[in-house]
Every structure is written in structure tokens, then in C-alpha cells.
Structure 1
């Protein structure tokens, strides 16, 4: 179809060139009053008709080129193809619901994860200030982390789970992350350097607020009021009330009173407040 359209275009272009020459010739003769008006009008009509034919031929060529381009399918993304669904010899119709092949983008790759809605305001506030790093590890290799950044926050909270969907973007240069793979995700919302943290089980709650038992000199217990910060994993930040290096009690607080002697259980190491 394309070759035929191109041949028709070439033929009409040749005829158009001849018609243009005839039109210009009869226009000159009419101007010199040696040609007839009828010959001029016929030459003009033939010239204009062939111009229209050439325009139609050019449109036919473009249509044929577009139709020919449909015989090659180009992926809009770079990625890796999966199992072929359609093979050579299969009949494929236009606008079919069945895909011929599935292509998954590998570099970069996106990791979906969710956070509780109570953390959304903090994430949005810090994301407005700077990109938030995201780290992932695979279940089979927890020591090797891939670093990316938070690139997407969904526009609504899932009312059934009370969580919101987030996405992290990873360059994945070594292709360690694979589409559909389960990974462990850590989102760094903000960094708090030089903070004192204690095991969360060391923190007790009384009538006057939170407190911990500190092991002082001669293994005597001292009840210390503390002001708490964020809790991350199994550790709690102590904003005020403790110094780095002090030893706190993590078990048996119900049997302690201020001034009581603390005995370290056999096989357990004393836990210290860390900075």
C-alpha cells in the first residue's frame, strides 16, 4: 500500500509540473493578447486539480506510513520482558484485551510500602524540606542495603487499614531488586544526632510521669524522672533526665524502690543509656 501510494504521488507530481508549465504559458499568451481566455481557464483548472491530487496523494502516503509503523511495536519504557503470550503465527487483532508480553521496568525500580496515618504529617513536613532517604534489604541478604528516596505519597488514607501508600525510587544499577519481590523498608524521616536512648522496657509510668531506675554507686537504684522523645523500634529517646553511659534497669522494676540494691541476673549484661 505504501509503494502504491508513493507511485501515485510521483505520477501526479509529474503531471502537476506539466500543468504548471502550461498554466504559466497560457497566462503569458493571454497577457500578450495572443492566447484565448478558454485555453487559459482550462490550463488553470488542470493545474489546480492536480495540486489537489498531489495533496491527496501526500496524505495517502502518510496514512500508509502510519499503517506500516503499526507492524512494529515499540515499548514506551526500558525494561525486561517476561513470558511471551503471543508467538509467531498467532492471530492478533487491534485493541485486543490480551497483552502480547509484559515489560517490567528494572532501572529505576519503585518500591511500594505503607505507614500508619499518624506518621503522615511528620513525613510530609520533612519531605517538604529535603528528600527523604529510603533503605531496603532483601530477606536473604539483610546486611546489604539499597538506598533510594521517597518519591510518592498517595492522595488518600486507606480507611480499612489506617495506612497510606508511599513509594520509593531506587536506581537499582546492579538489579538486586526485582519486580514483585518482598523487601524490608526503612524510611528515614529525620536524624537526631547525639541523643540518649534506652530500651523501651526500661521506661516506667507513674503518677508524676515517666521515670527509669538508674543503677548508681554501690549498685543502688535511683528513680529518675525523664522526658521522653520518639520511640524507634525497641528504643526510646530520652530528651532530659539521663546522661550517656548511665546504667538503667530493664527488668524487675516492680520489685525495686529507691535505694534498693540492684542485682544483675546471671548471663545478662547491664544495659546503658547510649548516645
Structure 2
């Protein structure tokens, strides 16, 4: 028989075991995995973008072609060639007429007629205006009358002198009377000469009432209308005549170029000068260099020069502003476009395009230059190809592509797209598309 159970105290409750926290290392590993995934996604995107950019290069990507490994830079190019580069002195000039005449009246009177049209081309000696001649005609008649009276007195004095000399030979008159009469004859001869001069002056004044053109040229705007009283001291005159054919251009050259100009003028004899408009786009005329001034302008350090132009077409207008190009000589040299030459910390250089479509930086030495061409004295030979546009994005050894080659590849890439599944006449890929689906042939017409 079992002994009775004694009420024993309950065992102490065991607390639940604390939940283990994840170690700190596992969180660090998770962050690292996330970073790796982000890097892989970024690398894949970079690869796809570079591959898309390299498709425009020459050769398949990833096969050693010039554009297969990186993006290509499209550049403009030009070939270095030999040419006669003109040595030109550029200057700013002003067109000046060969002759400028202000048409002024030489006598005072009423202007009765104006016989020219404003802007008309006139010739030397052509009658242009008329002053009332009546007062001058009366003055001429008065001078003629005075002369005739004094000539009659002179003739009488000469006859008297002849009789006195006859009487003196007969010892019938005193010598003093003969000498007095001889002096009177000389006095009257002087009076007649004065009368002739006054008559000539009156005749000249009468001729001045007819205002004729003193030169050939274009007459300007009329300053006086008929009916006005004009005077010989009028500063404005009636009009201005300018000779426009031939015409001159005056310009200034630096004093440092005076020696070159004189040497070239001694060698060639005549130097060609070209006149251009304000924008240097249109040629206004070609002429010949005339001369240099005899002194240097100390305020500007320049010397004035003049050239003459035929100006048969009237393209050059008096007081017009022009750009002048004075051609000294032609120098044979290797030339490239001006945009091909660049300047860096180590001097001037160009990018030369090699046969494998990579570029090489090469130092050069500049020569003479024009508006569009630059002579290369050292560093470049004839036939080499240089970069003219896009050089600011280049580095030595980079691969480039030319606009002409890119345009030539574009049709080939487009032509292969629609028929990318065709590998032969009626082949298996010709029957199926890129996804392997068989195409349905169109029904044949009966």
C-alpha cells in the first residue's frame, strides 16, 4: 500500500529563453549584396549605352575595330595642299573723288536759268547755268567806246608829231615842242592799252554769266534756284561736281609694312588693290596702287596711301567706307583651313587623322594667313588629313569618324533591318522570322 502523497511545493517556473538577435555581420552582408546588385545594374546599363554608341563606328563592336571599344567623335576634315598663298595688307579705306569742284559764280547777278538735272553726268565745258548778261553787255560797250575815243586821240597825236619833226628838220620849230608832242603820243598809247584791258575785263565778265562745267563728273543737288541773286563770294555755290570715273580710295597702312610695300612695288611695278564692301562679302572693284604719303601720322602710327580704280560701273561712291586688300605677292606654301590650327599651352598644333581613323596631336609653325587659309611653315606635309571641326572634344590617340563615312554606312544598316531573317533563297530562316514563327505566305493569284 502506497504511502499518502504529501503536497509538495510546485517547481519554479522556467522563464522563456530570450529570442536570439540576428548578428550584426548578417546585416552588413545584406547591404553588401544590395550594393553589388546596384553595381551590376549600372555596369550593364553602361555597357549597353557604349555598345549602342559604338555601332556607328567602323567595324563590329568588340572585334578590334576603331569604334568597337568606345564612343566615336564625328569631326570635320580637310587635306593639306600646296597653293600660292597671297600676302595681303588689309586696311580700312574711304572712297574720294579724283576731282571735286564746287560750282561757284564768278560774277554777281540774277540767276536766270539752271540747265542741269540733279545727279546728272556732265561733261567739261557743258553749259549749266545762266546769269542775266545785260549789265555786263553794257559795261562792255562802254569799255569799247572809251578805247575807240582814246585810239582816235592817239592817232591825232602821232600825226602832229610827224609834222613837228618835218618842221624841226626845216628849223621852223623848237625842239622842245617836238619832245612834248612825242611824250603826249606815249601817254595816249598807255591810255589805249588800259582801255583794251578794261574792254577785255568787261568781255570776260560777260562770258562768266554763262556758267559751264569745269570738269567731267556727276553733279549733285542744286543749292540755288533760278530767280535768286548770286554773288562771286558765295561759299556754298550752285552745286558740286565730283569725278567718279576714275575714282580714288584712300586708306592707311601700318608703318611697319611700309618697307614691304615699297619693296613689292619695286619688284612688281604695279600692285593690285581690291575694294570690298563693309561686310567683306561683295567685291566693289579692282584697281592699282598709286602712292604712299611722305610722312607717318604720329598719332596713329600709320601712313596714308592711295589707289585708283576705273569704276566704270559706278560701284564705288564718293565718301563710301570700304575694306581694302593690297596684294604684295604670292607665296607657295602648304595650306590648311584656318579652323584646323589651334593654340595651346605649348604653342600651335593640329590634329592629324591617321589611316586607322585615330588622331595624332602635332605641333606646327604658322605662316601667312588669309580670311580662310593658313600657311603651315613647319610640321605638316602635303596630302595629310587634318581635323577642322570638333577638335575641342579630341585627345591624342582618340578614334574619330568622318561625316562622309557615317552617311555611307547609314543605308547599309537600314537595308539589313527588314530582311534580317533572310539567309538564302527560300531557306529556313527565310520562312521564319526572328522569333522562329513561320510566316504565312500570301495566297497566289490564280
TMscore range, shorter length: 0.7 to 0.9
Q: Secondary structure at the match of 2:229?
A: coil
Partners of 2:206 and 2:238 in 1: CA distance: 19
**5 Å matches for 1:138-217?**
145-153=284-292, 155-157=295-297, 159=299, 165-192=304-331, 194-205=332-343, 209-217=347-355
| Counterpart among 352, 355, 373 of residue 235 in structure 1 | 373
Decide whether the 8 Å contact of 2:244 with 2:318 is kept in 1.
Answer: yes
Aligned match of 2:178? 40
1:126 and 2:264 equivalent? yes
Decide whether the 8 Å contact of 2:287 with 2:308 is kept in 1.
Answer: yes
Q: Greater relative contact order: 1 or 2 (C-alpha under 8 angstroms, separation 6 or more)?
A: 2
Q: Which runs of 5+ in 1 are unaligned?
A: 270-275
Higher Rg: 2
| Counterpart among 157, 176, 193 of residue 19 in structure 1 | 157
Q: TM-score, normalised by structure 1?
A: 0.78
1:134: how far off?
A: 1.4
Cα RMSD (Å): 3.4
Aligned match of 1:263? 401
Aligned match of 1:110? 248
Decide whether the 8 Å contact of 2:264 with 2:329 is kept in 1.
Answer: yes
- Relative distance call for 1:215 and 1:100 in structure 2 (3 A) is same
For this pair of structures, how many residues does the alignment match?
Answer: 266
1:41: how far off?
A: 3.6
| Counterpart among 124, 130, 136 of residue 275 in structure 2 | 136
Aligned match of 2:439? none
| Counterpart among 185, 200, 203 of residue 62 in structure 1 | 200
Partners of 2:309 and 2:190 in 1: CA distance: 55
Decide whether the 8 Å contact of 2:254 with 2:302 is kept in 1.
Answer: yes
- Relative distance call for 1:139 and 1:201 in structure 2 (3 A) is closer
- Relative distance call for 1:5 and 1:171 in structure 2 (3 A) is same
1:220: how far off?
A: 3.2
Q: Secondary structure at the match of 1:62?
A: helix
1:246: how far off?
A: 2.0
Decide whether the 8 Å contact of 1:115 with 1:164 is kept in 2.
Answer: yes
1:144: how far off?
A: 5.9
- Relative distance call for 1:244 and 1:138 in structure 2 (3 A) is same
Q: Secondary structure at the match of 1:249?
A: strand
TM-superposition CA deviations, 1:101-121 (whole Å, max 9, x none): 121211111234455666555
Q: Secondary structure at the match of 2:249?
A: strand
Moved more, 78-87 or 39-48: 39-48
Structure 1 runs, 4 residues or longer, greater than 6 Å off? 266-269
1:70: how far off?
A: 3.5
Decide whether the 8 Å contact of 1:158 with 1:164 is kept in 2.
Answer: no
Partners of 1:264 and 1:54 in 2: CA distance: 98
Decide whether the 8 Å contact of 2:255 with 2:296 is kept in 1.
Answer: no
Aligned match of 1:273? none
Aligned match of 1:272? none
1:30 and 2:152 equivalent? no
Aligned match of 2:191? 53
